[in-house]
Each structure stands twice: as structure tokens, then as C-alpha cells.
Structure 1
Amino acid sequence: MKFDTVVLGGGMVGVSVAVHLQKRGLTVALVDRKAPGNETSFGNAGLIQREGVYPYAFPRDASTLLRYARNRSLDVRYHFSAMPKLLPFLYRYWHYSRADRHTAIARSYATLIEHCVSEHRALIDASGAQALVRTGGWLKVFRSARKQDAALRDVERWQAEYGVTFDALDATQLRRAEPSLSHALLGALRYTDAESVSDPNALVTAYARYFEQLGGRVFIGDASTLEPHWSVDTDAGRIDAQSAVISLGPWSDTVSARFGYRLPLAVKRGYHMHYAAQDGAKLNQPVLDTEIGYMITPMARGIRLTTGAELAACDAPATPVQLDAIEPIARATFPLGARLDERPWLGRRPCTPDMMPIIGPATRHKDLWFAFGHAHHGLTLGPVTGRLLAEMMTGAATVTDPHPFRADRF
């Protein structure tokens, strides 16, 4: 029960960290309260977002802020009770979202994004998970020419700055690509270098099996029992390790706070539901209805409808009002049939105010490392994060400069 490293957290990021450390010759224990892939990584849109060089910013125009303040928006809702605690975080988020700051953040963020597909592909091939992945990108669809033109200007800039590839589809081309979508849609952008996953949980599970094939060990355990230097309780007894990695997604700050770290982490909660497709309708790729704020994605279980963001306490009771509000709109966009899940799934995206993850060493404890705060891009950035952190921990040359993601930047 002695290991070189214990990785706390069995989501996409934690599993990827464990894989890369084990590949580099360390003995690694992966610990979580559930089997790998059954928390935040279970329920997302399944995108590997090569185009995602600009992380999701906080709106700064008055009209959008007023719309959100009324708390009736389809894409963002909030719990009034959570606002006193969240307001300082939201102010910092708003601060970093100013156009010039957001542009500077993108320059650092893009150094991770540029490796997201290639690093996933390496693990997909090694784990035999090819059947879970679709190539060819995903679609952002539009209901107004104004929104489509603005999005086209953005992606043309991303192409010039970061090599993002895309196709612009008019209404006829969109109907050819997705015949079952509503003809009310005017067109779309297809992000062609992105890939998507038919079952995110199954992909994490495949990576975890590969980790075990490499000699790693998976334990069910309680991360809150972590003690220097370093041990943690599991269902198989207490295990000891020379180093520890906190990669617990939205619960990372709870454990890091026990050691005196006050890292700014909040959650954007989201919901999903699966549906049958009516009358032989087929969805070929993920589709974001950008002006409404939801996504429909073909998954192994059915068509997955995912919501936008809910700002609330991490473990507050579920309030899936967004899902109920967008379902009729989604049904008019694509012929969804019966609900296939007993209840909506609730997930939590761990977010930092500057929109970038925390990757690297803790500042006051030897051999304690962080890998969390990936917001909407945990699935996208898991493998490259795992590689980067493993390189840092073993003293190897790093795939990119880790400095922008350090814990002490706050």
C-alpha cells in the first residue's frame, strides 16, 4: 500500500494525470469516492474543442447583464441564496473578461487547446477506445443573420491567430448536413478540427482500464482524509505516497483549503436529459443552438440535451428549471421523443475567475500538486493536462509553458 503518487479524483483530468504518471514509471494510486468517470465527467456534451482557444468569458454589455439579472434567461440562471458568496468571484470573472485581458488569456490558454485532439488521440489509440469518438467536428447553428455574421467574424480571427478551421454553412448546406433539424435555422458554423464522444463516461472508463493495464491501482476512498506526507483512507485500507495530486474538480478547493490554500474556485452547474428520436430522425453531430443556449448531441443512450449554466452552491439541491424551459424549444428544433432518464442529471463545472485551470505545484507543501479548474473544458483538456503535470512532476521537458497556470497567480 505504498505508492510514488496518489491522484485524488477519477474524472477525465485525474485519470489522465494518473495515466501519464504511470507511463513515466511511477507507481500510482487513483482514489475517488466513485468509480472513474461518474461525477462531472459523466454528463457533458462530449466535445473535444480544438476551436476553444477563447475560454467562456463573463458578459460585459449592459443589456446582457440586465437580462441575466432578471434570472429568467434560458442560458444562465442563479440561486439568490448563493449570490452573497458568489459575487466576489463573479466580480473577478467580470474583471478578467475585459476584451484586452481576455485576449491575453487566450494566448496562454491556446497553448493547451492546440494539443487537445492529439493528446486525446494518443490515449484513445492506447486504450482501444476508437469506437467512442467521432471526427468531423460539431455545429453552431443560428436563427439570425446578425448573430451568424458576428460568429463568423470571431472564427475568422481565431483562424488567423490560432489556426482554427471551420466551414460556414448556409441554410441549404445545413439541411444537407442535418436533414432532421428545423428549417427555421438560417445556417451554421462547423468547427472541423474538433471531435466528439458518444459516451464520455465510457471514454474515462477506457482510460482508467488502460491505467490499470499499465500497473496502476484504482481505489474507492475519501479524499478528505488526505494527510501529509501523503496518506489517504480507501476501502482497501490506508495508503501512503511520496506525492499527492488534487484533481477533484469542483471539490478541489474543499480539500486544498484543509492545507491553508484559498484558491478562487466556483462552479457552473448544468443538467442533461436523454431522449429518443422520433420518426426515424437522426442527428449526425453535436449541435449548439447558440442564441437560445442549449446543445443536443447524439450519444450512445440517445439524444442528450444539455443546458447552459446555473450559478449555485456546489451541492445545493437540483433545480432543473433551465431544462424544462428549453425542452419545448429543442423539440421544435429536432424531433425529440420520450425522455429516457428517470430524472435530469446534474453536474458541476469547476471554474476560476481568469478562466484558466490551475496546474502545477502547491506553494507551501512539498510534493503536493494541483490539476483542476478546467470549467467547460475538462473533457477537452484532460489528456494534455495529464501530460503537462506528469512532465513537471518528473522533471521532463514540458509540452507547453506551465507558468500561466500556476497556483500562485492569484
Structure 2
Amino acid sequence: MAEILVLGAGMVGVSTALALQARGHSVSLVDRGAPGRETSFGNAGIIQAEAAEPYGLPRDLGTLWSMVTGRSNDVTWSMRGVTQMAPALWSYFLQSAPRRHAEISRTYAQLTARATADHAPLIEAAGADNLIAREGMVQLYRSAAAFEADVADAERLARDYGVRHRAVSGADYRREDPALQRDPAGVLHWTDSWSCSAPGCLVHSYAKLFASRGGRLLEGDAASLAQSGAGWRVTTAAERVTAEHVVVALGPWSPTLLRRLGYRIPMIYKRGYHGHFETKRPPLRPIVDMDNGVVAGQMQAGLRIATGAALVTRKAPVDLRQLDRGRAAISDMLEIGGRVDEPQWSGTRPCLPDMLPLVGEAPRHKGLWFHFGHGHQGFTLGPTTGALLAAALDGETSEIARALAPAHRI
């Protein structure tokens, strides 16, 4: 049994702590706030079993031009943000080349294929089944041509990865989901994905499960991390904690912490926003509006509309253009009422240029472990990569673990 510190209590960190605990280790989970209150709190709440291929950077000139000129609501940007991330964005562009993206996807698909199965025992043990719907998610199209093109691509994903879907005409789907106010051109229904009505609450439920099994939840600042003899220490509100191993699971904050230890990790920071709105008819399943770059799904707090990516600096002021545009655009399909009065949330997706999370031991520091860089899928993949990291810490290896390991990637 080893003493282990896990820094960061989002979905990735909490799942890591549970996986290490299940292997008999003594684990302390450290965060500056309550579990699941940062990036894990604000996502669209979908466990994306359908996401066999990671989001690459578009390479066709038409799509890039629509982003550059601001016509696309999928991505907004600032000159300062793009300039600061330029080396990482260039690497991301190169890694998104078709052949390289296909290689990456062969690894990525092995992760997403396990996602719901790895969440399932935690959901049951945490008593959180009331938060989960197993009805899948849908992509909604207003363009028949775009719908037909994506149906063909969905059939490829089914052949290559076994991802299941239904292609449904707009009229048929409107009969299935009476929340729709008019017929779309078509709908792709990804049947294997699950959705969660309160993502932050699910993370909190997992954290309570960890504590009930003897784990320690501690409030502290990860910036206090320092080497201590043959191990590591961090200062918490209650005490100074030492351990043989430390896992950095701080999402977008991870590169800043690790820079002090000599690691230069390029990252693309994709900011996103959400807002909750009143509605009398919530959609049957979460809806990805393919024309307008937003996801709409019913949450405990109301209808959540979540945005795409804003490539801005970490300290850039709040900019609700994507949320406001998306809310107005999807109103032709859904009845959307007033905004729920709440603090404005924003969070950052921690995306690495090669689109795979870093999972494994640091190349130059014994007992230092990386577990971050999940991009859009930290909520989906936390339990899966948590299990892989726990196995690696115990000396086990596998082809997929080697593909995610930091040693050959930084």
C-alpha cells in the first residue's frame, strides 16, 4: 500500500482517487474548493460513448475562414489568446492531419468505448442513478446536405468502432420529441451515450463515495506542492500532508504548476460558458445544434445551453456572444423562456495538441504522476483513465497505457 496525494477534485481527480483506493492505497484528495465545482461543474453533462474520434482542428479553408471571420458560432477568438497559444495551435493543426488523426483516434476510441461501463459501478455505489438518463444524445440539422454527409460519416464510425446510431427524419423525430417546435432536416441519435442532470453533483457523489470508503478530502492549494525527501508534500488547511506519490489532476491549471518543476507542456485553452433557461417542454435528449455551436439539455437548474470554444487568454473578461447567439438561434426549435438568475459560469477545457490525455509517471521525477489534458471529455473519461493511471502506478502496463504515457510525449 502506498500513500498517494491526488491534486484536483474534478471528475478526473475524484475518479483517480477512487481507482487508487480500490487497489488498496491510502489516498488524500486535495482541492482548493468543493469537489466538482470547476470545469466538471459546467459541461453539457454527457458521457459521450459516441465520441470515438477527438475533436480535430478543421483544415478545410471554408470552415477555417468562417471561424476567422466570426461567422461560425462554434469558435470565437481573440488576437491575444491565439498569439499566446500559437505554438500549441500549430501543433494541433499538424496533429489533425487525416492520417495522424486516424492514428490518434484508434487509441481514443478504446477509451470512449469503455466510458459508460467504467462510470456504471461508481454511479451505482454512489447512489447517483437518479442523475443519469440512458437515452443517448442527438445532433440536429437544418441542412439536408449536412445531415446526409454526417449520416455517411456515422456509418463509417459504426464500421470502424462499433458506435451505434439512428438516422431519423426531422418529421419522425419531432413526433418522438414533442419539445421540437418545427421539423429539422434530420437528426442523428447516438444511442449509447448517457446524460447527467447535474454534472457537479455527480462528481460530488463520487467524492462522497471516496470519503465513505476511508479516503481523505482536504482543502488546500496545489501550488504548495514540493518535494519532501523521497516523496512529496502539500500544505492543506488542516495539516501538511506527505506522500510517496502525487497525481496532478488539475485540468487547465496543470501546466502552470508543472512549469516550476521544469516541464513545458503546450495546451490549448478552450473556454466555454453555459446558462440555464426556463422551458415548459424540455427536450427528450440533449441536443447538439450542429448549425449554431451549442448544446441544449435539461438539468436540475433548468434548460442548460452550453457553448463551443473561445480561444482567449485565461484572464480575458466574460464574453457571452456565443451563448447569446446560440440561445437566439436554437429558439426556432425549442421553446426557451427567461434566463435563470445565477452567477455566470465559465470554464476551460484543457486540450493538448495531440488530443490525448497525459496519463502516467513524469519523465524526470519519481513519484510524480500526470493525469490531465482530456480536452472536451474529462467528464466522460475520468473513470477510464483513472483506472489506467492506477494500474500504471502499480507497475502494470498495456498498449493503451503506453500510448498515453508522458515519457514520449513531452
Q: TM-score, normalised by structure 1?
A: 0.96
Q: Distance in 2 between matches of 1:393 and 1:206?
A: 25
Aligned to 1:239: 241
1:292 CA drift (Å)? 1.4
In structure 1, distance between residues paired with 2:147 and 2:307: 21
1:393 aligns with 2:393: yes
Partner residue, 1:171: 170
C-alpha distance in structure 2 between counterparts of 1:387 and 1:3, whole Å: 16
How do 1:293-304 and structure 2 match up within 5 A? 293-304=293-304
Residue equivalent to 1:69: 68
Taking the aligned partners of 1:171 and 1:9, their CA distance within structure 2 comes to 43
Cα displacement string for residues 123-152 of structure 1 (whole angstroms, at most 9, x for unaligned residues): 111111111110020110110111101111
Residues 253-332 of structure 1: matches in 2 within 5 Å? 253-277=255-279, 280-332=280-332
Q: Tell me how far apart the structure 1 counterparts of residues 79 and 143 of structure 2 sit (CA, whole Å).
A: 32
Partner Cα separation in structure 1 for residue 348 and residue 143 of structure 2: 31
Shift of 1:331: 2.0
Residue identity in the other structure for 1:75? D
Counterparts of 1:32-111 in structure 2 under 5 Å?
32-111=31-110
Corresponding position of 1:120: 119
Counterpart of 2:269 in structure 1: which amino acid? V
Distance apart, 1:316 and its partner CA: 2.5
Kindly provide the amino acid, as one letter, of the partner of residue 270 in structure 1. Answer: G
Match of 1:153 in 2: 152
Compute the RMSD of aligned alpha carbons.
1.4
Letter in 1 for 2:271: R
Q: Conserved in 2, the CA contact under 8 Å of 1:221 and 1:234?
A: yes
Q: Would you say the 8 A contact 2:85–2:267 is kept in 1?
A: no
For 2:378, give the aligned amino acid. Answer: G
Q: Is it true that 1:358 corresponds to 2:361 in the alignment?
A: no
Amino acid at match of 2:359: I
Contact 1:3–1:240 (CA under 8 A) maintained in structure 2: no
Match of 2:338 in 1: 338
Aligned counterparts of 2:29 and 2:285: Cα–Cα separation in 1 = 33
Three-state SS of the structure 2 residue aligned to 1:58 is coil
Q: After the TM superposition, which parts of structure 1 deviate over 6 Å for at least 4 consecutive aligned residues?
A: none
| 1:347 corresponding residue in structure 2 | 347
Give the residue type in structure 2 aligned to 1:295. V
Q: Give the match for residue 31 of structure 1.
A: 30
Q: Do 1:246 and 1:372's aligned partners in 2 also have CA atoms closer than 8 Å? A: yes
The structural deviation recorded for 1:71 is 3.0
Deviations 1:178-204 (A, max 9, x none): 212131411101000111101000100
The residue type paired with residue 212 of structure 2 is Q
- Deviating more after overlay: 66-75 vs 239-248: 66-75
| Count of residues in correspondence between the two structures | 406
**1:7-49 deviation line (CA, Å, top 9, x unaligned):** 0000000000000111111110100111100000000111111
| Structure-1 separation of matches of 2:71 and 2:6 | 40
**1:16 matched to 2:15:** yes
Sequence identity percentage: 43
Separation in structure 2 between the aligned mates of residue 297 and residue 122 of structure 1, nearest angstrom: 24
State whether residues 15 and 383 of structure 2, in contact with CA within 8 Å, keep that contact through their aligned partners in structure 1: yes
Equivalent residue, structure 1, for 2:3: 4
Distance in 2, Cα, partners of 1:49 & 1:403: 23
TM-score for both structures, normalised by structure 2 = 0.96
Could you tell me which residue of structure 2 aligns to residue 208 of structure 1?
207
Amino acid at match of 1:253: P
Give the aligned residue type for 2:255: D
Structure 1: any 5+ residue segments left out of the alignment?
A: none
Letter in 1 for 2:261: F
One-letter amino acid of the structure 2 residue matched with residue 303 of structure 1? L
Deviation at 1:343, TM superposition (A): 4.0
**In 1: Cα distance, 2:6 partner to 2:160 partner:** 35
Whether contact under 8 Å (2:74, 2:308) holds in the other structure is: yes
Q: Would you say the 8 A contact 1:223–1:232 is kept in 2?
A: yes
Distance in 2 (alpha carbons) for counterparts of 1:255 and 1:397: 27
- Look up the equivalent residue of 1:12 and give its one-letter code: M
CA distance, structure 2, for counterparts of residue 177 and residue 382 of structure 1: 32
Matched residue type, 1:217:
R
Query: Which amino acid is the alignment partner of residue 168 of structure 1?
Result: A
- Give, as a single letter, the amino acid of the residue that structure 1 aligns with 2:117: S
* Matched residue type, 2:373: G
Question: Where does residue 384 of structure 2 map in the other structure?
Answer: 384
Secondary structure of residue in 2 paired with 1:303: strand
State the Cα distance separating 1:3 from its structure 2 match: 7.2
Q: Where do 5+ consecutive residues of structure 2 fail to align?
A: none
Q: Name the SS for the 2:258 alignment partner.
A: helix
2:340, 2:72 → 1: CA distance? 26
Q: Which residue of 2 aligns with 1:221?
A: 220
SS in 1 for 2:223: strand
Q: What's 1:196 paired with? A: 195
Distance 1:220 1:343 in 2: 23
Q: Which amino acid aligns with 2:291?
A: E
The residue that corresponds to 2:138 in the other structure is 139
Shift of 1:172: 2.2
- Give the superposition deviation at 1:100: 1.1
Q: Please report how far the alpha carbon of residue 85 of structure 1 lies from its aligned counterpart in structure 2 after TM superposition.
A: 1.3
CA contact (8 A) 2:7 2:247 kept: yes
SS of residue paired to 1:250? helix
SS of the aligned residue for 1:295 comes to strand
CA distance in 2, matches of 1:341, 1:189: 33
Q: Distance in 2 between matches of 1:15 and 1:341?
A: 29
Q: Secondary structure at the match of 1:337?
A: coil
Deviation at 1:81, TM superposition (A): 1.7
The offset of 1:72, in angstroms, is 4.2
Conservation of the 8 A alpha-carbon contact between 2:282 and 2:297: no
